[in-house]
Amino acid sequence: MLSRSDLEDVLRRWHQAWADYDLDRVMELFHEEVLFENWTGATAQGRENLRRAWSDWFARPGGFRFIEEETFIDEPQQKVLYRWRLEWPSIEKGWEGRAEKRRGVDVLHFKNGKIIRKLTYSKTSLEIDGQRVRLLPA
């Protein structure tokens, strides 16, 4: 079981690896059996499947940036709630490539010192070029 200090250290390494666009360092923090679910409901099971799912993101360093807004740590349950803002070129239809700000939350579960579950939730509205844009259902 990770202590609060250990969890904080993992989160520091997590933030830095994302800021450095270093997929290898990000993946080191995940359990082999990780389950990832993104804000669309798409999932990736297993570390290598997650690596493949994220490889396009990391192929374009500088294309995205996560900013920590707030973090809650539940040491006894080995869970972290991480509230973030994502800044990147939009992928939304009709807004492709324009500057987007998206806010969301990751719920991280740890097992044996690694992230075993990453559940990602996002607001249904975002900001593109200073305008509030409501996401439409798929």
Contacts of 18 (CB under 8 A, 6+ apart): 26, 66
Residues 18-42: pLDDT tens digits?
Answer: 999 999 999 999 999 999 999 888 9
How many CB atoms are closer than 10 A to CB 65?
14
For residue 26, what are the β-bridge partners? none
**Residue range of the domain that includes 62:** 4-134
Structure letter (DSSP) for residue 136: P
| CATH classification of the domain holding 98 | 3.10.450.50
Both structure tokens of 125: 């509205």
pTM of the shown model: 0.89
Write down the residue that tokens 């509230």 correspond to.
Answer: 83
Q: State the pLDDT at residue 96.
A: 86
